[in-house]
């Protein structure tokens, strides 16, 4: 090989080897092989040579050109692979990281509390009953021993509608009458009736639409002891086995005697604080032995059977279970507020 060509060959080898980037390789390519590249020009200059020199140098130049092309190509591939590897390393992800979860919905605290109450009573052998939210006055009042002129009606400021004799039920108690009529004298009656009720109230502890669970048990020989046992079991299932209950005499037209059940205050555990007004107790439900008039209206003979009934507000229990201090928060549909109960683990997620 001519000395000139050998020098070029060495120079090219060094340059290609030293190149660090694809653009450097590109410059080398045009420097040697481009339209005005060194090898290209040398090939053009062959025409001025004798035939023998032209053949000899032409072959050498062609060989050199092939070598340069091969080197450039393989170096380029090398660089591209290196770049890909670097990129893969840069973009590698940790498969042990937790995945990103889609936001899932969850049931409202009131729904969860209602299901929790239902679960407790279903396990005690109760069954579920439902009644209409627009109710006959007879079922809502008269049948429950509240005639039209009865002062107890004042305790339940009612929504009447434009259909005479109909009312948005002020409590779930009319389902007691409906259940008794459905059972037609059969025993035992052992039902709970969850649902909405409506009253003209609106403040920090009352809303115009609220949820109640009604309970009714009728059989031979049912006593106040059955009432106390059942409701204390319920309270301990819902609020914890360390909870204590007490029963205070009260008045409801549809029960006689009537009692209200208190549970130990969640804030102070029973020693007395601001929440419980220093008493250590918080009221959670009203109950009593079913009034003979109510039994009769339901088709049962009060001289043969007896029973107890209760009604509890789901909101109040939900506030206690979930630690919510304002009833109205439950009805504002504020996702930020509601989603904080996502990871609530104090009770089974129902």
Binding site for Zn ion (CB under 5 A): 265, 267-268, 273, 275-276
- Residue nearest to Zn ion according to CB distances in the complex: 265
At 15, list the tokens: 């340059």
Residues in the chain: 350
The closest of 107, 130, 233, 118 to 179, measured between CA atoms, is: 130
At 74, list the tokens: 């393989």
| Minimum separation from the CB atom of position 273 to Zn ion (A) | 3
Place of tokens 């007691």: 176
Report residue 209: phi and psi, to 5°.
Answer: -120, 130
User: According to the annotation, is 315 in a ligand binding site?
Assistant: no
Characterise 196 by phi-psi region: left (phi > 0), alpha (psi -120 to 50), beta (else). Answer: beta
| Minimum separation from the CB atom of position 285 to Zn ion (A) | 18
Distance from chain centroid for Cα 186: 41
Nearer to Zn ion, 94 or 325 (CB): 325
Nearer to Zn ion, 261 or 305 (CB): 261
Nearer to Zn ion, 79 or 268 (CB): 268
For residue 324, the tally of other CB atoms under 10 A from its CB is 17
Nearer to Zn ion, 63 or 275 (CB): 275
| Minimum separation from the CB atom of position 124 to Zn ion (A) | 29
At 84, list the tokens: 């890909």
Nearer to Zn ion, 106 or 273 (CB): 273
Helices (H), 34-141: 38-44, 51-91, 109-123, 137-140
Nearer to Zn ion, 28 or 276 (CB): 276
CA 265/CA 240 separation, integer angstroms: 12
| Helix, coil or strand: residue 125 | coil
| Minimum separation from the CB atom of position 265 to Zn ion (A) | 3
Given the DSSP bridges, would you call strands 166-168 and 306-313 parallel, antiparallel or unpaired?
unpaired
| Minimum separation from the CB atom of position 243 to Zn ion (A) | 13
CA 9/CA 198 separation, integer angstroms: 98
| Minimum separation from the CB atom of position 348 to Zn ion (A) | 26
Output the known binding site for Mg(2+). 256
Output the known binding site. 256
């Amino acid at each position: 090989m001519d000395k000139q060509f050998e020098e070029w060959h060495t120079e090219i080898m060094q340059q290609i080897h030293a190149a660090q980037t694809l653009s450097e390789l590109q410059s080398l390519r045009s420097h040697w092989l481009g339209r005005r590249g060194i090898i290209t020009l040398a090939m053009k200059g062959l025409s001025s040579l004798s035939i023998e020199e032209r053949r000899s140098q032409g072959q050498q130049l062609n060989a050199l050109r092939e070598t340069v092309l091969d080197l450039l190509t393989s170096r380029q591939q090398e660089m591209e692979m290196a770049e890909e590897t670097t990129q893969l390393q840069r973009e590698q992800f940790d498969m042990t990281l937790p995945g990103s979860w889609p936001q899932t919905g969850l049931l409202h605290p009131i729904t969860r509390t209602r299901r929790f109450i239902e679960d407790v009573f279903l396990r005690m052998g109760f069954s579920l009953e439902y009644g209409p939210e627009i109710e006959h006055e007879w079922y809502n009042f008269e049948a429950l021993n509240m005639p039209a002129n009865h002062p107890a009606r004042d305790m339940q400021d009612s929504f009447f509608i434009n259909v005479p004799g109909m009312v948005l039920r002020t409590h779930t108690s009319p389902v007691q009458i409906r259940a008794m009529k459905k059972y037609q004298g059969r025993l035992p009656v052992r039902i709970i009736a969850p649902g909405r009720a409506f009253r003209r109230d609106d403040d920090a502890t009352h809303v115009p639409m609220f949820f109640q669970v009604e309970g009714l048990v009728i059989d031979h020989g049912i006593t106040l002891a059955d009432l106390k046992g059942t409701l204390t079991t319920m309270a301990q299932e819902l609020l914890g086995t360390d909870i204590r209950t007490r029963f205070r005499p009260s008045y409801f037209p549809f029960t006689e005697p009537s009692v209200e059940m208190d549970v130990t205050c969640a804030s102070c555990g029973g020693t007395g604080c601001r929440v419980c007004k220093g008493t250590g107790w918080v009221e959670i439900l009203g109950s009593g032995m079913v009034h003979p008039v109510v039994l009769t209206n339901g088709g049962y003979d009060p001289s043969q059977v007896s029973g107890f009934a209760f009604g509890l507000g789901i909101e109040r229990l939900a506030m206690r279970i979930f630690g919510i201090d304002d009833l109205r928060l439950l009805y504002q549909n504020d996702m930020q507020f509601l989603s904080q109960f996502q990871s609530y683990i104090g009770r089974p997620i129902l």
